[in-house]
């Protein structure tokens, strides 16, 4: 959906963006939102920032961005920012200093 918005293709209806935003609003954890159903608290910082570009409210956008900021600044991790972390505990689950964190700049592309 980020690509749809970036390129202005309008492949997805406004109601789908709203429905997605409403779902995200009800699933937030301390450090953002879970990535998928494989594990109830795993998340990825690049995914959160990319997804924050397609939501329809600033409150949900801020839920994503503030969650990633809280994780990155909580002092629980002493390694370079990892894209994969626990959104409930704010701790690194794996991966370190990967290029996918370039996704953190997604808002600049729009």
Distance, CA of 43 to CA of 27 (rounded, Å): 12
Q: Which domain holds residue 10?
A: 2-109
Beginning with the edge strand found earlier in the chain, give each strand of the sheet holding 92-94 in spatial order.
42-44, 84-86, 92-94
As beta bridge partners, residue 104 has: none
pTM as predicted: 0.92
Render pLDDT for 57-86 as a digit per residue (tens, 0 to 9): 999 999 999 999 999 999 999 888 899 999
For 35-50, what is the HEC assignment?
A: CCCCCCCEEEHHHHHH
- Residue in 85, 75, 86, 81 with CA at minimum distance from that of residue 97: 81
Using DSSP, state whether 82 is helix, strand or coil: coil
pLDDT of residue 106: 97
Number of structural domains (the chain) is 1
């Amino acid at each position: 959906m980020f690509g749809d918005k970036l390129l202005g293709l309008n492949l997805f209806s406004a109601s789908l963006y709203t429905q997605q935003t409403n779902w995200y609003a009800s699933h937030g954890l301390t450090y953002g939102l879970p990535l998928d159903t494989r594990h109830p608290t795993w998340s990825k910082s690049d995914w959160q920032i990319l997804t924050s570009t397609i939501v329809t409210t600033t409150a949900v956008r801020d839920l994503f961005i503030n969650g990633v900021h809280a994780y990155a600044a909580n002092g629980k991790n002493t390694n370079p920012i990892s894209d994969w972390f626990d959104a409930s505990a704010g701790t690194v689950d794996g991966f370190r200093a990967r290029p996918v964190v370039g996704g953190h700049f997604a808002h600049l592309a729009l």
